[in-house]
Amino acid sequence: MNIRKILPLAFASMLLFNVSCSSDSSEMITMPTTLENGVLISNEGGFTTPTADVSFVSNNLSYGFNKVYSTANNEQLGKVLQTIGFNGSNAYLVSNIPNKIDIVNRYTFKKQTTVTTNLDGARGIAFSGNQYYVTNNNFDTGKRKLNVYNVADNSFVKSIDFTNAAEKVVEAAGKIVVQTDGIGYDASWNPIPTGYTVTVVNPSSNTVSQVINLPTNGIIRDLISYQGNAYALASDNTNSYIYKLNTADGTYTTTTLTAIPKVQKLRAADNKFYFITDTNKIYGMTIGTTTLPTVPIVTATGNVYGFDVIDGKIFASDASFTADSKVNIYNATSGTLLLNFTAGIGTNGFYKN
């Protein structure tokens, strides 16, 4: 058993989630019968050991549970869990070592099936109608593509090849939007841009309908979808930029985050953008406003690898790949720390269930 009742904050970091291997059953209760009304937490796991898994915390932060997948299925998930996508009552767990998509019931986490066909460096997932789309970005072979599958039987439909990258993928305004440029590295492993494109795919034909060429500013860092719109984030050493993408004609409008450099991740909730810099400063601003934030909501701690905003709470992981990661949850308005606890190896994402 892996779960504890959440104790007052002073004790939570010591006692919640960090006892999955403990034999002291008096301090634990069983896995919830349903994972509804909570947040799923993806733990990427190590690159050489099969330590990927999923954690859970309830919406009211009153209880949580580690090792959800392995407990529900009596097997290890594997390595390098990249992302989780939802479609109906199913959750799709995309891993790139080995290349697979484990499809589970999102509320019980019982596995339905595993998809492996034509995956090569699997990364992100998005859904449109009766199809789902998985990006593949293999740094060793140089293969970058978008795979298309049927939802009904998980059969492979086709691949769409790209030149530079195939990273984040989202659905927006009836189109599939792919981050086809991002971070590359020079011979000294300094980050450099691969280019400045975002590619739009028409799901009715599964062909490219637009290639959006963004300004040559910094590096494209993130891509999100919110209320039917796609937004790309880029940043440099001076400013950062949020681009609202028009998937119909390939144009964009720009929100410049003047004097807020090196923003790394972008999220949107409650008609606000939330974003985090390389120094862990988390800001919020109303979408559409020209007034920029001057003071961060909070400065998170550690190696913030996973970041999201759900139901008025900021989730930020202090990730480790050699030990269990920490998760900090803050009030999205005041920045007050609500809870911190230990999750799994390489915590990289949070998903409202």
Cα 328 from chain centre: 16
* Lowest-confidence pick of 15-19, 76-80, 225-229, 277-281: 15-19
Q: What percent of the chain has pLDDT over 70?
A: 92
DSSP bridge pairs for 83: 94
Long-range (24+ apart) CB contacts under 8 A made by 277-284 are: 277/240, 280/304, 280/316, 282/307, 282/314, 282/316, 282/330, 282/335, 284/332
Fold of 117-261: Neuraminidase (2.120.10)
Per-residue pLDDT reduced to its tens digit, 83-112: 999 999 999 999 998 899 999 999 999 999
User: Do residues 271 and 278 lie in contact, with contact meaning Cβ atoms separated by under 8 Å?
Assistant: no
pTM: 0.91
Q: Is the pLDDT of residue 14 over 50?
A: no
Token duo for residue 253: 């409008």
- Supply the pLDDT for residue 33: 86
- Supply the pLDDT for residue 221: 97
Per-residue pLDDT reduced to its tens digit, 231-284: 999 999 999 999 999 999 999 999 999 999 999 999 999 999 999 999 999 999
**Mean pLDDT confidence for 49-65:** 93
Dist CA 215 CA 233 (whole Å): 11
> Domain extents for the chain?
117-261
- Supply the pLDDT for residue 17: 45
N- to C-terminal Cα separation, the chain = 21
Confidence class of residue 29 from pLDDT cuts 50, 70 and 90? low
**Mean pLDDT confidence for 207-228:** 97
* Lowest-confidence pick of 62-66, 119-123, 148-152: 62-66
User: Do residues 62 and 70 lie in contact, with contact meaning Cβ atoms separated by under 8 Å?
Assistant: no
CA angle 165, 193, 296 (to 5 degrees): 105
Q: What percent of the chain has pLDDT over 90?
A: 85
Kindly tell me the burial class for residue 209, based on how many C-beta atoms sit within 10 Å of its own C-beta (0-12, 13-18, 19 or more): middle
Per-residue pLDDT reduced to its tens digit, 140-166: 888 999 999 999 999 999 999 999 999
- Supply the pLDDT for residue 48: 87
